[in-house]
Structure 1
Amino acid sequence: MPNPLLPLIIQGDRSILLDVHSPDALEARFALIPFAELEKSPEHLHTYRLTGLSLWNAASAGLTAEKIITTLHRFARFDVPPAVISWIEETFGRYGKITLTACEDPAFLYLTAESERIYRELKAAPKLSKYLLAAEKPHSFLIALLNRGTVKQVLLKMGWPVRDQVPLKDGAPLAIPLRTQTKKGMDFSIRNYQREAAEAFTGDKGPGTGFGTIVLPCGAGKTIVGMLVMSMLNTDTLILTTNTAAVYQWKRELLDKTGLEDDCIGIYSSDSKEIKPVTVATYQILTWRPDTESEFPHFRLFRERNWGLIIYDEVHLLPAPVFRITAELQVIRRLGLTATLIREDGCEGDVFSLVGPKRYDVPWKELEEKGWIAHAYCTEIRIPLPVSKEIEYAAAPLREKHRIASENEAKIEVARQLLMRHSEDQILIIGQYITQLKKIAEAVHAPLITGKTPNAERESLYEAFRSGSISVLVVSKVANFAIDLPDASVAIQISGTFGSRQEEAQRLGRILRPKERNAFFYTLVTRHSVEEECADHRQKFLAEQGYAYSLITDTDMQLNLPLCAPSLKNS
């Protein structure tokens, strides 16, 4: 019998409606996160969707079809359509039906299908024909070792996620002990979920483990998970990250929390080209080349040492050229770290097949409730466009409409009011357009960091912010990723990339480090403009994680209505 109090409506097209007013809505939301993707999140009904990739990530993380079906039955308002149940079982059943195993000839691997039917499907596939060689082993092909990643990519697109059971090489040995007390004299210990994440990746160090992606919120200690994995594997490690500031941040953390000495850690960036047993490099330097026809000269870094582990920090930003080299590097253990697997280019499947499937995930709100990340309040403030800009906006093409709305000068006064309200907080003002950022930095008398700010000056400003000698910092999108500013408790987002969900997640992450204060995330949006639609799209990821946006107008501010809850110490 239908139960109107239950929160989920599962439909035959594999979409799932979540009634946010149901008493069990929050519990159902957390239950959906490991195996369903959020599509829409308006006020009353959120829409999720089951996809092959979402189920295969769930399978790789240890979920079963039975557990997912049980979850759907538990929260379903109406009967779960039998066709959806059959599709879940069939989709789960495809995971691991094709395996990769070692061959007597080390230059080749066996690609083995579980049945004659699957074997014949692979044999007939045009996109696979140039990679498959005949093998005497039943239902098997030989593939060249260097084609290991590429074949996994092709098979995933055909709907066949491969279970890769080829042993990985150990790499050069390197002792990487973790400290129990940091160099700064602080006690240091591993949290339970960080250990669970590392163990989900390393497993028993046997076939089928040692490659995959860990998904944790910003502020939850992804860097620590990476260091813990390094200490478990004790091998030469290459760490790839997003920018030079993040490179130096990794080095600081390694020196502070491991037994590695300075001469063991190399920096490979535009400023320095050191290759050491542990080397930290930027994606930008790896993907540089003199012209579009040339090779990537810095790819030699991948072959320079006998690496036993490659860590891809912010793996959701992995650029296409690095994907290509990663397709060849399937013999090395590969760890992806991210707060969100969302890629706006739709290449989540490449992360799955080349770096590895999702091995561990935890809802942001779950860590917030336990006090491991700050409690966050999210508010969208809608501001009218000045009358003087209305005709220009109306006549502009779509892209220019976005810029006019984003650079609405009325946002500067609203930002100034927010600064007064949070005068005791450490505040980041984040935006997309440099002209706009320069104006607001001048208006509020705060320093500005953009992509053109020299690295030494950036580090100096970040350090001044960390120490509290400056309390407001205006930053462009260079600060979206991998920047540790633990005392930041307020972020004011004045403009952003066209509806990027990953950017929204990363920007909120700048203020989620655990602290004595709650965190406040404000987004300033021009009312009745294309910015409203983009803002709705951006907020999907946070809605999936359990965050709710309150919506106010600048009129509310002028009336001095409260914008936020009182600051409370996290338990």
Structure 2
Amino acid sequence: MADVRLVYEGGTIRVEGVERLTDAAPDGAFSDIEFDPRSETGRVPAVQYAALRDRLAELDIDVDDAVFESASLNLSSDYQLREYQRDALGAWEGNGRRGVLELPTGSGKTVIGIAAMERLDVPTLVVVPTIDLLEQWEKELDREFSVPIGRLGGGEQRVEDVTVATYDSAYLRADELGNRFELLVFDEVHHLGGEGYRDIARLSAASARLGLTATFERSDDAHRAVEELLGPVVYRIDAEELAGEHLAPYDIKRIEVELTPDEREEYDRHQEQFTDYLAKSSITLTSGSDYQKLVKRSGTDPRAREALLAKQRAREVMMNAQRKVDRLADLLDRHRDDRVIVFTAHTELVYRLSERFLIPALTHETAASERRAILDRFRAGEYSRVVTANVLDEGVDVPDANVAVVLSGSGSEREFTQRLGRILRPGAGKRAILYELVTEKTAEERVARRRR
């Protein structure tokens, strides 16, 4: 009879025979096992399963492990990894099959994920943030592997040995799925830092955990929680290192524009109202948490609310400056034979540009079927340009483009990296270019520096 039996139960590992560990282990070796008087067994969170197994093995304790029902799936694919992809996969395996890989958009993160699945040949859950990515992964896995592909999301709830799920669906079924999959693959893994989404990894007993992203760190430091659940970044390579061979070579050009006299007067008036409030209230905005405190204060302080509204109006003036639109007209004329994506921060401006330049518009209001139709026509060359507010930043398979124009955006490095990645798909003789339009003598200059 085994000394100890391990069973998965509702996001925890039940340790039967825990009393036998007292004599078999040094003091404190299993102090993290909590005694459950209801079942008269020990318990640890499921995320600690692999570490518990390792300790039991080190102390030569006989274990009846009933957590997983291991099964070989005979997974194989036709992918040939590039050198940097092999290095990334090797770094992950060298870290005990735990950790995050940070590679630019277009570098083949999906390929590495599929290679990891093939290498381990165990039941796998792939978690993605959007329905678009869900469908892309499902299609790719179905093409590569001769096993049924499960899907959780987009109106379907079908679990197979290889399953793709949205973060929302995986979160809702986290305790149920916790011992169903021995490998977890998180695409756009920075989303796992969300408080609720962490349960997907926390309630799982999977010992193999792989995170994929183009930009790992989050401004709220929630990436540190991801490191605790998956492991640290074990491999990192940027677009500049891959440009020319594996990604298109590229240039980034910053174009500064002036506000019109009327815009300047309006911007200065609103900005001054905001800075005056900060000065009178002795508030210094040195971090995101400082800004959050100001937002909270606006709930009870009318002056704080007016200051924030003034800040928002100033931001709208600088981001939607008329001379940006004028320069966009010049750029569209210059690149009339190229594939162009125009990025903005505001949906209203998207529709204004769409109407003025007769460009298809993509926003959060665009139906999924219409978005697919627009991107298919862009891919086929029927459309040579599109304008969007944020929806192409992440999680959408964007057809080949070689010019991006960023009219406005946040100070997020992730957003900027994603937008650059949309034009880096390699092609014969291709050189990509990203134009960044910035209004002079406004806060946008600081925003642009921060995202770069």
Same fold (TM over 0.5): yes
Return closer, same or farther for 1:300/1:169 CA change in 2, 3 Å cut-off: closer
CA deviation profile, 1:352-390 (whole Å, cap 9, x unmatched): 111222222224322225x11111101111111122222
Residue in 1 that maps onto 2:9: none
How far residue 391 of structure 1 moved from its aligned partner, in angstroms, is 2.5
Task: Name which of 361, 376, 382 aligns with 2:256.
Answer: 382
Q: Counterparts in 2 of 1:122-141, with a 5 A limit?
A: 136-138=25-27, 140-141=29-30
Cα deviation digits, residues 178-201 of structure 1 (max 9, x gap) = 12xxxxxxxx52212212222322
Aligned residue in 2 for 1:276 = 160
- Measured in 1, the distance between the counterparts of 2:175 and 2:364 equals 26
Is the 8 Å Cα contact of residues 405 and 526 (structure 1) preserved in structure 2?
yes
CA gap 1:302/1:379 in 2 versus in 1, 3 angstroms = farther
Aligned to 1:470, the other structure's residue is in SS state coil
Report what 1:338 is aligned to: 213
Identity %: 29
Q: CA deviation at 1:275?
A: 2.5
Equivalent residue letter for 1:176: L
For 1:302-451, what aligned pairs fall within 5 Å after superposition? Answer: 302-303=177-178, 306-318=180-192, 319-369=194-244, 371-396=245-270, 397-451=310-364
2:142 is the counterpart of 1:142: no
Check the 8 A contact 1:512/1:519 in 2, yes or no: yes
Q: For the Cα contact (< 8 Å) 1:173–1:235, is it kept in 2? A: yes
Q: Deviations over 1:411-468 (max 9, x none)?
A: 2221121112122221111122100111111122111111222222222222222222
Offset of residue 340 of structure 1: 1.6
- What amino acid maps onto 2:109 in structure 1? K
SS in 1 for 2:415: helix
Aligned to 2:121: 234
Distance in 2 (alpha carbons) for counterparts of 1:170 and 1:384: 65
Distance 1:324 1:451 in 2: 27
Instruction: Name the amino acid aligned to 1:147.
Output: P
How far apart are residue 140 of structure 1 and its match?
3.1
Q: Deviations over 1:120-158 (max 9, x none)?
A: xxxxxxxxxxxxx99951463422464365999xxxxxx
| C-alpha distance 389-221 of structure 1, shift in aligned 2 (>3 A) | same
* Distance verdict in 2 for CA 1:414–1:260, change over 3 Å: farther
How far 1:268 sits from its partner (Å)?
2.1
Helix, strand or coil for the counterpart of 1:352? helix
- Superposed, 1:11-90 pairs within 5 Å as none
Structure 2 partner of 1:483:
396
For 1:281-303, what per-residue CA distance to the aligned partner results, in whole angstroms no more than 9, with x for missing partners? 2224456xxxxxxxxx4446634
Q: State the Cα deviation string for residues 228-259 of structure 1 (Å, max 9, x = none).
A: 11111112221111211111111232234x13
1:149–1:353 contact (8 Å) kept in structure 2: no
- Given the superposition, is the C-alpha separation of residues 338 and 269 from structure 1 closer, same or farther in structure 2, using an over 3 Å criterion? same
Give 3-state SS (helix, strand or coil) of 1:140's partner. coil
Q: Distance in 2 between matches of 1:163 and 1:365?
A: 41
Match of 1:501 in 2: 413
The code of the aligned residue for 1:360 comes to Y
Which residue identity lines up with residue 202 of structure 1 in the other structure?
E
Query: d(CA) in 2 for partners of 1:530 and 1:405?
Result: 8
Instruction: Indicate which of 90, 105, 111 corresponds to 1:199.
Output: 90
Distance 1:176 1:136, change over 3 A: closer
Structure 2: distance between partners of 1:134 and 1:524: 69
Counterpart-to-counterpart distance in 2, 1:534 and 1:134: 60
1:212-231 mapped onto 2 (5 Å cutoff): 212-231=99-118
Q: What TM-score do you get using the length of structure 2 for normalisation? A: 0.76
Aligned to 1:4: none
- Measured at CA, do residues 251 and 105 of structure 1 come closer, stay the same or move farther in structure 2, by a change above 3 Å? closer
The answer for the alignment partner of 1:265 in structure 2 is: 149
Please, what is the CA RMSD of the aligned residues? 2.9
Structure 2 unaligned segments of length 5 or more: list them: 7-12, 16-21, 34-42, 58-66, 271-309
- Structure 1 gaps of 5+ residues are 1-102, 110-132, 153-161, 180-187, 288-296, 540-571
**Worse overlay, 321-330 or 227-236:** 321-330
Counterpart contact for 1:243–1:282, Cα < 8 Å:
yes
> CA, structure 1 residues 298+141, in 2 after alignment: closer, same or farther (shift >3 Å)?
closer
1:178 aligns with 2:77: yes
Residues 266 and 457 of structure 1: CA distance in aligned 2, closer, same or farther (over 3 Å): farther
Q: Pick from 443, 447, 450: which aligns with 1:530?
A: 443
Give the TM-score, by structure 1 length.
0.61
Determine helix, strand or coil for the equivalent of 2:155. coil
Partner of 2:45, secondary structure, is: helix
Three-state SS of the structure 2 residue aligned to 1:220 is coil
Tell me what 1:512 maps to. Answer: 424
